[in-house]
Amino acid sequence: MSRRLDIEPNSIAGRLMPATRIADELLRATFTQGGFPKALSREASLVVVYGVRPDDAAILNLAAQDLIGGTEDDAWSVEARVRDWTDLDAQRPDYVQRLLNEASVATRTVIVLCRRRADVPTVVEAVADAVLPLADRKGTVEAFVEEIGKFLPDTALVARLSALPLTYLNLVLRPGASRERMWTVAGRLRRTVKSNGDRKPSPQDDKRTKKAGATRPTRSTNERHPERLEDMPGMGEAQRWGLSLAADLARYRDGSLPWSDVENGAVLHGPPGTGKTLFARALAGSCGVPLFSHSFASWQAKGHLGDLLKALRAAFDEARKAAPCVLFIDELDSVGNREEPLGDHASYQRQVVNGLLESLDGTVGRGGVVVVAATNHIAAIDRAVLRPGRLGRIVEITLPDVAGRVAILRHHLRGDLADVDLQSLADEIGEASGAVLAQLVREARAAARQDTRSLLEADLWTALPKGTELSEASFRRACVHEAGHLVVGLELAAVSGLVPTGASVRRRVRNGKENKTDFRVDEGFDSTRESLEATLMVFMAGLAAEEVVLGSRGALSGGSADADLVRATKLARSAQRSLGLGERLSSMPKDGVAALDDLDLSRRVEDMLTRCLTEAKLIVERRRPDVERVAARLVEAQEFALGVDVASPLSSSAAP
């Protein structure tokens, strides 16, 4: 036999049918192979098992009772706590909070059975002692066929049997059944599963459901989320604003603050993966109110314009009935901008924007409904939507700094590696979103589980994205490039209003944004033609330093949307076309269409950029010793901080 089914002497699984025996073995393998055999003990712990089919939840529940609770023959028999979350729509609204309360006082193992890993709420994953995939059943099924059928099954038969619900195996794995009999019966049962168990609701089913007056709630609609802003590190100003709103909403609920004094609308914007959706859930959690989650994409999927507007209004109506609450709208940029030249689509866009504005501040009102929207492109939002009283608060959620990354890693480590300094790791990974950091910890834990040991610091380092190791020539060019930005930036700080604060480079590039020079912008700076041209010189300074010091130009200044040459081109074009700082006095709005007679705009922009590049190269030539010293420091330490490094070669030659 390829594998023995080791049944414990005191196990009820040894006296029951195949389904129970296989379920017993699956759970035992899940806990031992997953690196958490403690789940088999009667000590307090919370274990989540995902990959459980809804049809198998009941039999696995019984197996858990056997494994952990003990049998009637046991001198010490207790009731194991198993929670079936394979059908989330059947759960009570507070099912997560109920589990957390139960786990906080439990004196024995609590097991949660989930269908998918994505169904495990963040807060449950954070406090769980283990989150394990259900062990593969093929080996166990093969061993049972071998034991009861007295023959070695082939791969095809094992796969067909493993696809069935566990309870169906009682009908197939019977003494004396041949391979052909098992194959035939399993095939018939498989067709039964497909036609019944996995059948999608038909239109007739929907009609019968509506006729019966039943409704099928969606999980995202009215759930009190356990995540809280207080427990979310690395959110910066967004966290402070959210906690302030939570305090005001509490005052509104107890009647001490009128709704007119509550800031009832905000737009979250920032790069993908920074946690905008998670922030909305945590905001609802801190406020202690339901969250209604929607997106413009889901509304647009309803059908034509009338269907979209109907879905939009229905979402606001639903939220008003449950007020106070948070209404979250994802992908807000999909609503469009009425100022965009869309031609035949302009009427459609205008009606969509007007529909949103009506819902935000229409005659019905929305007392008690805090509307929070999210976007990756704040510039694409219609300005009327961002008016105070609608979604007037603009909250930027940025990528976390080093301290924020350390805090996020600590959050996901859940107390593991408490004595390890994570500063170097957080610095090495560079700019990374909370989602990337969470994935890093998950991969590290997976490696530790695979080796059936505790998590080590080395697992985190191994899980770092590999990236690309720069050659010596490429790394040297990156250092010279950033040194040019820093030196020219210091030279022109008093004119441009951009004050450099430091530069950093990395030998291993993971996300393309590791090599950079940081600037502080002087707010309210007097913007003139001279200051604009000085800014252009700072943008072009990296390219200038490459040409002066290395004698050639690399590809570091172009390509991406935020690359030096792209930013410089946009600024020069705006100067020539809109700001009145170019060769002509004629001006067009920044977002307006191009003037028909402005045929030589490209030439004027090119001339302006060429002139500023020439000026930047003159500064680099004059201060070449400084540029090379900064570049050498970057090669050695990969960091150069101004105002901190008192031995800086630029400390005596700052901007005039």
Active-site choice (482, 514, 546, 615): 482
Q: Which of 508, 503, 533 lies closest to 616 in space, CA to CA?
A: 533
- R_g of the chain computed on alpha carbons: 31
State the DSSP code for 68: I
Residue with tokens 């820093």: 486
Cβ-based neighbour number of residue 204 at 10 Å:
8
Structure tokens at 72: 């009637």
Q: Which residues touch 72 (CB under 8 Å, ≥6 apart)?
A: none
Structure tokens at 167: 């309870």
How far from each other are the two terminal CA atoms of the chain, in whole angstroms? 85
Structure tokens at 169: 């195996």
- Kindly tell me the sign of the dihedral angle through the C-alpha atoms of 223, 226, 228, 234: negative
Report the distance separating Cα 154 and Cα 163, nearest Å.
15
Assign residue 234 a region: left if phi > 0, alpha if psi is -120 to 50, beta otherwise? left
Q: Name residue 373's beta-bridge partners.
A: 267, 329
Report the distance separating Cα 172 and Cα 190, nearest Å.
11
Q: Which residues touch 213 (CB under 8 Å, ≥6 apart)?
A: none
Residue with tokens 């001198």: 75
Report the distance separating Cα 496 and Cα 334, nearest Å.
36
Helix axes 529-545, 564-577, angle to 10 degrees: 160
| Catalytic site includes residue 482 | yes
Q: Which of 363, 298, 362 lies closest to 332 in space, CA to CA?
A: 298
Report the distance separating Cα 429 and Cα 56, nearest Å.
41
Residues forming the active site = 482
